[in-house]
């Protein structure tokens, strides 16, 4: 699998990842929606219990499985594929919730592009919603963990500035060696 073209956008919940992914999709790039949002929507529609505030371990098991499936589907596309979070975020969450060590094994066998883009905490735009029920303090703690997890697995972090969506997209594409559009 040509994982060097799989680019992760991670960072603080409510920091603008999904909006940035929408901009990249508008520009013609393949994108993959955050697994957590899809899982929560499905659980809320169908009365499921795999919700981060009900059964975090079940939620994260599904997020890991969905992330693996997303990678297989992305392999069928051409060019850059931008992931809103991904396998490493899910496995890091699993380790945090369960205490089980899984990152070393999965992180080594399922690589992404060496540069990971992080959206920083941005309290001015953070909003809880029916799919995001945790508070800003929990989002910040998760962000801080990611700042340690990715470099420990050999990834280089680029923290995107608090800027307009088109500016963020241009910075990201330039960092990947592409001309900003």
DSSP label at 129?
B
**Within-domain flag for 180:** no
The per-residue pLDDT for 163 is 93
* pTM of the entire predicted model: 0.89
**Within-domain flag for 181:** no
User: Under DSSP, is residue 27 helix (H, G, I), strand (E, B) or coil?
Assistant: coil
Q: Are strands 156-159 and 30-32 parallel, antiparallel or unpaired?
A: unpaired
Q: How many domains does the chain have?
A: 1
- How far is the C-alpha of 13 from the C-alpha of 82, rounded, in Å? 17
Residue 34's CATH number:
3.40.50.300
- How far is the C-alpha of 17 from the C-alpha of 119, rounded, in Å? 7
The per-residue pLDDT for 181 is 36
Which residue range forms the structural domain that includes residue 126?
3-175
- How far is the C-alpha of 12 from the C-alpha of 104, rounded, in Å? 22
The per-residue pLDDT for 36 is 85
**Within-domain flag for 72:** yes
Closest CA to 160 of 7, 6, 5, 16: 16
**Within-domain flag for 36:** yes
**Within-domain flag for 139:** yes
The per-residue pLDDT for 3 is 78
The per-residue pLDDT for 151 is 94
Q: What is the residue-level pLDDT of the chain in tens, covering all 181 positions?
A: 567 899 999 987 778 898 999 999 999 999 999 998 898 888 888 878 888 788 889 889 999 999 999 999 999 999 999 999 989 999 999 898 888 888 877 766 789 999 999 998 766 665 666 666 566 677 778 888 899 999 999 999 999 999 999 999 999 999 998 533 3
The per-residue pLDDT for 126 is 56
């Amino acid at each position: 699998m040509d994982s060097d073209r799989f680019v992760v956008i991670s960072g603080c919940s409510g920091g603008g990842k999904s909006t940035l992914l929408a901009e990249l999709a508008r520009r013609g790039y393949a994108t993959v929606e955050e697994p957590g949002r899809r899982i929560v929507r499905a659980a809320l529609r169908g009365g499921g219990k795999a919700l981060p505030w009900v059964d975090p371990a079940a939620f994260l098991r599904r997020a890991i499985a969905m992330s693996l499936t997303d990678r297989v589907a992305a392999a069928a596309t051409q060019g850059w594929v931008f992931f809103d979070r991904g396998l490493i975020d899910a496995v890091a969450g699993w380790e945090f919730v369960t205490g089980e060590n899984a990152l070393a094994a999965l992180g080594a066998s399922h690589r992404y592009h060496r540069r990971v883009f992080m959206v920083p905490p941005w309290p001015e735009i953070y909003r809880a919603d029916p799919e995001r029920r945790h508070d800003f303090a929990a989002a910040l703690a998760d962000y801080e963990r990611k700042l340690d997890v990715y470099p420990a697995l050999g990834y280089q972090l680029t923290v995107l500035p608090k800027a307009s969506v088109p500016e963020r997209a241009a910075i990201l594409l330039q960092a990947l060696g592409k001309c900003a559009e």
